[in-house]
Amino acid sequence: QKEVEQNSGPLSVPEGAIASLNCTYSDRGSQSFFWYRQYSGKSPELIMFIYSNGDKEDGRFTAQLNKASQYVSLLIRDSQPSDSATYLCAVLAGTASKLTFGTGTRLQVTL
Amino acid sequence: DAMVIQNPRYQVTQFGKPVTLSCSQTLNHNVMYWYQQKSSQAPKLLFHYYDKDFNNEADTPDNFQSRRPNTSFCFLDIRSPGLGDAAMYLCATSRDQVGSPSPFTSAAGANVLTFGAGSRLTVL
């Protein structure tokens, strides 16, 4: 089992819709969870991070964390074509001192 | 603006010819990381420096070396590049070491990674 798993996609949503991106992790002791956006050929850029169970909202983005079920999700409201990118989930495991990244989900927002 | 700068952005080398990639930061962050990312794959940590302390990942090949002569600069040396080393190399920084004892320090973004633009290596 991979430490951090994401559906590679592509996930296709129409403009204005809600995009839902999911990530599961294997280490139950994981502490911190990060979502990065990566445009093709570019480096990852942080969207948001979450540490506590529940929801965290930042503009059109909402991160949801459920530690009991070991998943974290990212919701993008009012999706725009400029949101088309690969979204990387990164997890700080409880016993490690490094972030482990998933392979990312490619999001396509269609007009 | 404070940032992480990588040079060169694109590097073409021949099989076996040494390459050095550089990273500089104006964020005054304590920690600098080197990641390797191949197409459609997750970034893979090669090593990181916490201040002057070097931390090598167990599965990082000996072909990869790093130097951090001062707080601002970090170098990735690939001694004998092979075709399998073609990838995007990402430098990142964070204020504190990922995994700092208190997760609540992270609430201030202490262990959030800031990435440079990357250096894409092609091996012929």
**Per-residue pLDDT tens digits for A55-67:** 999 999 999 999 9
Among A46-50, A95-99, A102-106, B17-21, the minimum mean pLDDT is found in A95-99
B60 vs A36: CA distance, rounded Å: 24
- At residue B107, the pLDDT reads 45
Closest Cα in chain A, distance from residue B11 (Å): 14
Residue B115 is predicted with a pLDDT of 94
How far, CA to CA in Å, does A41 sit from each of A84, B37, B119? 13, 11, 10
Assess B105–A contact: CB distance below 8 Å, yes or no.
no
A71: enclosing H helix or E strand:
strand A71-76
CA distance A77 to A60: 5
List, for residues A2-39, the tens digit of each pLDDT value.
Answer: 789 999 889 999 999 999 999 999 988 888 899 999 99
Per-residue pLDDT at B98: 58
Establish if A91 touches chain B: CB-CB under 8 angstroms.
no
Residues of chain B with Cβ-Cβ distance to A103 below 8 Å are: 40-42
Residues A79-91 have pLDDT tens digits of 999 999 999 999 9
pLDDT band for A96, please (50, 70, 90 cuts).
Answer: low
Instruction: Assess whether pLDDT exceeds 80 at residue B99.
Output: no
CA distance B83 to B97: 32
Q: Say what the pLDDT of residue B45 is.
A: 93
The pLDDT value given to residue A53: 85
Residue B16 confidence (pLDDT) above 70: yes
Asked whether residue B105 carries a pLDDT value surpassing 50, the answer given is no
Q: Measure in Å the smallest separation between the Cα of A82 and chain B Cα atoms.
A: 19
